[in-house]
Structure 1
Amino acid sequence: MKKLFIVALLVVGMTSFAQEKEARPERAQMEQLTPDQRNQLQLKKMTLELDLNASQQKEMSTIIAEQSTKREAKMAERKATKDSAKKQPTSDELFAKKSQMLDEQIVMKKRIKKILSADQYKKWDEMKGNKHHGMKKRMMHHKNKKPVETGNKK
Structure 2
Amino acid sequence: MKKLVMIAFLLSGMMAMAQKEETKDRRHSMNDLSPEQIATLQTKKMTLALDLNEAQQAKMKSLFASNAAERKTKMEAHKARKESGEKMTSEERYSIQNERLDHQIALKKEMKALLNDDQYAKWEKMQHRRGKHMKVKRSQRKNLEGIKSEK
Q: TM-score under structure 2 normalisation?
A: 0.79
**Structure 1 counterpart of 2:120, one-letter code:** Y
- 1:17 maps onto 2:18 in alignment: no
How many residues end up aligned between the 2 structures?
137
Name stretches of at least 5 consecutive residues in structure 1 with no aligned partner: 1-7, 146-154
- 1:118 maps onto 2:117 in alignment: yes
Aligned 1:112-151 pairs, distance under 5 A? 112-145=111-144
Q: CA RMSD in A?
A: 2.4
Could you tell me how far apart the structure 1 residues matched to 2:78 and 2:59 are?
29
Task: State the percentage of identical aligned residues.
Answer: 37
- 1:49-99 CA distance string (max 9 Å, x none): 101111111110110001100110100110111112242x22222111111
1:56 is matched with 56
Name stretches of at least 5 consecutive residues in structure 2 with no aligned partner: 145-151
Could you tell me how far apart the structure 2 residues matched to 1:85 and 1:141 are?
25
Could you tell me how far apart the structure 2 residues matched to 1:95 and 1:66 are?
23
1:95 is matched with 94
- 1:82 maps onto 2:88 in alignment: no
Alpha-carbon distance, 1:30 to partner? 5.8
**Structure 2 counterpart of 1:71, one-letter code:** R
2:43 is matched with 43
Alpha-carbon distance, 1:35 to partner? 3.2
Point out the structure with max Rg over C-alpha: 1
Q: TM-score under structure 1 normalisation?
A: 0.78
Could you tell me how far apart the structure 2 residues matched to 1:103 and 1:29 are?
27
**Structure 1 counterpart of 2:71, one-letter code:** R
Higher deviation after alignment, 89-98 or 74-83: 89-98
Could you tell me how far apart the structure 1 residues matched to 2:39 and 2:124 are?
19
- 1:104-136 CA distance string (max 9 Å, x none): 111111111101011111110110111121121
